[in-house]
Amino acid sequence: MSDHRLALFRAMVRARVLEDRLASLYLSGGIPGGSVFLSRGQEAFSAAAAMQLRPGDVYAPLIRDQAGRLVRGETPLDAIRVHLGRTTGVTRGRDGNIHRGFPRQGDLAMISHLGSTIGTVAGWLMGLRQLGKAGAPGDLAVGLASIGDGGMNTGALHEGLNIAAVEKLPFVLCVTDNQLSYSTFSDRTYACRSLVERAAGYGLRGVAIDGTDPDACWAACRDAVARARAGEGPQMIVAKLLRLAGHGMHDDASYVPAELKSRFADGVQTYEVVLRKDGVLDEAAAQALWDEYRSETAAALAQAQAEPSPDPAQEPWTALSTRALA
């Protein structure tokens, strides 16, 4: 029991430390372009979901999934390299910040267009079926995708999710209702009481959870992934929490009222208290953990900063992989 709780907390802290460093780097002008998007407040749900996956599964993280990405094997160095646009990064400076992944391993590199990855994950799972690589019920390869309360309203989400349901795919949709899409509150983006009500409309199983409670996140994710893997078809989890940052570092989120903020906890802080109370962690161990990740991030940053930026003269400037046509 406590093993996974410690691992979950570790993943949350690791993401928090990395993102805090990226945030300060942004403020000091150290990010060459764009913004930095923080998952502050969403670490638990992201990590808990990714921790249920295994090699061969498909993962489609979104804007606020630093924790899940780290769980899946990304390193802070990978993340920093892409933020700095280094040639050593997976996108080699061609794309930045959150638009990164390891598609050969089933970790999709999101495009900005919200909702687009839902049908892609469905297609991947259909592809595995075609290739005879989907596995048997109980052992199915699972696809897990993230979406926000904003992205839930795209046509792409609807089309992709409906296809996943029609095909009865082992698909898990993790919906993070963080009360906001950019500066717009949920009352302007959907009219049902909870987004989980939509699950029934697609013919899939849905559960609503408190996204600020890491143990609740863990339990719901474990159950949903297990059900998908067993062949019960697509699952939806709606986690309610608050985005504890601006949309990106360029946004001070001054539009978020204090009253709303007072209603939502920061899972990283509260979980540390809970784990210490439960004896999973003592003060020294907690401190050591934060220190470990601070030095990991510092070392990764130092390394990435010493690495080369792309040279436009070396860039082949072709978007086709077929050499004969490039």
Partner 1 sequence: MSSTYIEAIRRALGDALAEDPRVFLYGQDIAGTFGGAFKATKGLAERFPGRVLNSPISEDGQAAVGIGAALAGCRPVIEFQFADFASVAFNQMVNHAATHWWRTGVPVPATFRLPAGGTPGGGPFHCQMVEGWLTSHPGLIVVAPATVGDAYHMLRDAIACDDPVAYLEHKHLYNHLRIDTDPSRAERLPLGKAAVRRAGRDCTVVSWSGMVHECLKAAEPLAEQGIEIEVIDLRCLRPLDTATVLASVERTGRLLVATESWPFGGVAAELCAWISEHGFSHLDAPPRRLSAQDTPVPFHPDLFRAHHPDAARIAAAVVETVEF
Residues lying near partner 1 in the complex (CB under 8 A) = 58, 90-91, 94-95, 99, 101, 103-104, 108-109, 111-113, 116-128, 130-131, 133, 155-156, 159-160, 162-163, 166, 318-322, 324-325
How many other C-beta atoms can be found within 10 angstroms of the C-beta atom of residue 273?
11
**Restricting to residues 109-128, which ones interact with ligand TPP according to CB under 6 A?**
112-114
**Restricting to residues 50-69, which ones interact with ligand TPP according to CB under 6 A?**
63-64
107, β-bridge pairs: 59, 102
**Restricting to residues 151-180, which ones interact with ligand TPP according to CB under 6 A?**
151, 154, 178, 180
Tell me how far, at minimum, the Cβ of 111 lies from ligand TPP, in Å: 9
Tokens of residue 28, six digits: 């000091």
By CB under 6 A, is residue 255 in contact with ligand TPP? no
The amino acid present at 120, given as its one-letter code, is T
CA end-to-end span of the chain = 54
Binding partner at 188 among ligand TPP, partner 1, none, C-beta below 5 to 8 Å by kind? none
Tell me how far, at minimum, the Cβ of 141 lies from ligand TPP, in Å: 26
Binding partner at 114 among ligand TPP, partner 1, none, C-beta below 5 to 8 Å by kind? ligand TPP
Give the one residue of 43, 106, 243, 266 binding ligand TPP; rule: CB under 6 A: 243
Binding partner at 150 among partner 1, ligand TPP, none, C-beta below 5 to 8 Å by kind? ligand TPP
CA 232/CA 168 separation, integer angstroms: 8
- Indicate the residue among 10 and 247 with the shorter CB distance to ligand TPP: 247
Angle between helices 267-277 and 214-230 (to 10 degrees): 100
Tell me how far, at minimum, the Cβ of 37 lies from partner 1, in Å: 17
Give every CB contact of residue 170 below 8 A, 6+ residues apart in sequence.
Answer: 125, 134, 140, 141, 142, 143, 228, 229, 231, 233, 234
Tell me how far, at minimum, the Cβ of 116 lies from ligand TPP, in Å: 8
CA 233/CA 230 separation, integer angstroms: 8
Tell me how far, at minimum, the Cβ of 57 lies from partner 1, in Å: 12
- Indicate the residue among 170 and 206 with the shorter CB distance to ligand TPP: 206
Alpha helices in the chain (DSSP H): 2-27, 43-50, 66-71, 76-84, 116-130, 155-166, 197-202, 214-230, 258-262, 267-277, 283-306
- Indicate the residue among 122 and 241 with the shorter CB distance to ligand TPP: 241
237, β-bridge pairs: 174, 207
CA 309/CA 23 separation, integer angstroms: 20
SS3 content of the chain, % helix, strand, coil (to 5): 45, 10, 40
- Indicate the residue among 116 and 270 with the shorter CB distance to ligand TPP: 116
By CB under 6 A, is residue 182 in contact with ligand TPP? yes
By CB under 6 A, is residue 254 in contact with ligand TPP? no
102, β-bridge pairs: 107
Q: Which residue, among 180, 243, 261, has the nearest Cα to 40 in the 3D structure?
A: 243
Q: Which helix (H) or strand (E) holds 207?
A: strand 205-210
CA 30/CA 25 separation, integer angstroms: 5
In the bound state, the residue with its beta carbon closest to ligand TPP is 148
Tell me how far, at minimum, the Cβ of 304 lies from partner 1, in Å: 19
Residues forming contacts to ligand TPP in the complex (CB under 6 A) are 63-64, 112-114, 148-151, 154, 178, 180-182, 243, 247
